[in-house]
A and B are shown apart, each in its own frame.
Chain A
Amino acid sequence: MKGIDYFAPPRLEEAVSLLRRYGKKAALMAGGTDFLLRLERGLVQPGVIVDLKKIRDLRGINSNRAGLKIGAATLMDEIASSHLIQTRYGILAKGAAAVGSIQTRNRATLGGNLCNASPAADTASPLIALGGRARIAGAKRVREVPLEEFFLGPGKSCLQPNEILKEIFIPSPVQRSAGSFQRCTRTAMDIALVNCAVFLSLASKGGVVQDIRIVLGAVAPTPVRVQAAEDVLRGKNPDEKTIEEAADCAAAGVRPIDDVRSSASYRRAMVRVLTKRAIEEALREAGGEA
């Protein structure tokens, strides 16, 4: 930890050029709630820390007709307690509220949660379900990637060495759409054993599912969409049997591991339970708005 240098540039371009100047020696930090643990444990040994919190372009929640933009360095608590996000993108507010303690949510950022690329990240599943897109700043341009393609493996995202996650864009929800976020965990503070986010829309009348996304966290190397389970419901007016079929399909489609928190078989069983609950809740909410 000796001899670390620290920069907190006010502009995104300066942060990108610091990354270019220092290359592999530089580490990006936002809230620091994960990064400083890894620094303390010697898992990362950067020569230079580039703190992103002073960059105004990375902060804030803005909406227009097309959708919602959230700056990558926006605090978890700002997302969890935003009235706009609670009412229009409720599953994201719930996911953000599930992260750590209030002490953590007052420091941790959305971009940090995503860039750490934990398979259990509680904001990743809701954002993928909502069709979120990552806007990534590089030296020359900003590129856009659907969030479901952002994660490559535990701790690995598609960010290139000179790139910084700038913001997340979520398209406005269509008519008669709703979601649900479900999570199971050991204690208030622990990371998820399994999380599940569902977002669906119904046809203009009746109960036929027009489109649906089912996303699961902590049961594969990255957050995963279970398209086979989505296909069971798409175009149907689901009864209990169809919902159970989709939940079974989700449980069959994941690759959970055994670890200190839970066995793989328990995780798989919980995938079935949470997926069913999430589909039922989303159907109720979407229908209720008609």
Chain B
Amino acid sequence: MARRTKRIRVTVNGERYEKEVSPSKSLLDFLRMDLNLTGTKEGCGEGECGACSIIMNGKLVDSCLILTVEADGQKIQTIEGISRHDRLHPLQKAFAEKGAAQCGYCTPGMIMAAKYLLDHNPSPTAEQVLKAIAGNLCRCTGYGSIVDAVLSAAKER
């Protein structure tokens, strides 16, 4: 069978793209390979670790478990799209200040999950933060400093 491609239109971090993609390509690979937005990471590739978390049409999702063709017509925000010009997002600042990143691999996904939480619940409890990041694995920090950073960013906002 011949290889088929599909034309999609997608808005990523406010920029519009129109591309030909293979129907089997994951949205994660599209963001990283086709758009060079390598802030979004691949951890497990199975929807367990959350390193590939992005916000699509206002919903936090794992981009490894989405086909690029499914994103046709959608609005996407990645870690690259949350700072304004040179000003870091309050969550990015708080993660840096609280030492909430060690190896840093989970950090982009963790920040997107935290942003999704604060967008819906501007002043969460520590327990609500833990619940909101249940789909994001960190193998370094033990989560304490991450929860601190999210709570402190919530106060800043």
Contact = CB atoms under 8 A, between A and B. Distances in A.
Contact of A36 (B48, B60, B67, B116): B67
A6 B50 contact: no
Interface string B22-40: 1110100000000000000
Contact of B23 (A49, A100, A107, A189): A49
Given A3-B4, A6-B6, A47-B1, A103 B50 contact: yes
A237 interface: no
A101 B110 CA distance: 13
Interface in B2-57: 2-4, 6, 22-24, 26, 45-48, 50, 53
A36 B45 CA distance: 10
B135 A100 contact: yes
B47 A3 contact: no
Interface in B58-81: 59-62, 65-67, 69-70, 72
B82 interface: no
Contact of A1 (B6, B24, B70, B131): B24
A222 B49 CA distance: 28
Nearest to B4: A5
Contact of A102 (B3, B26, B46, B135): B135
Contact of A37 (B6, B65, B69): B65
Given A37-B47, A102-B60, A107-B61, A6 B67 contact: yes
A102 B69 contact: no
A99 to B, nearest CB: 11
B111 interface: no
Interface string B129-157: 00110111000000000000000000000
Interface of B: 1-4, 6, 22-24, 26, 45-48, 50, 53, 59-62, 65-67, 69-70, 72, 113, 116, 131-132, 134-136
14 contacts: A3-B2, A4-B24, A36-B65, A36-B67, A51-B69, A101-B50, A101-B134, A103-B47, A103-B50, A104-B62, A104-B135, A107-B66, A188-B131, A189-B48
Interface of A: 1-6, 8, 32-33, 36-37, 39-40, 47, 49, 51, 53, 77, 100-104, 106-107, 188-189
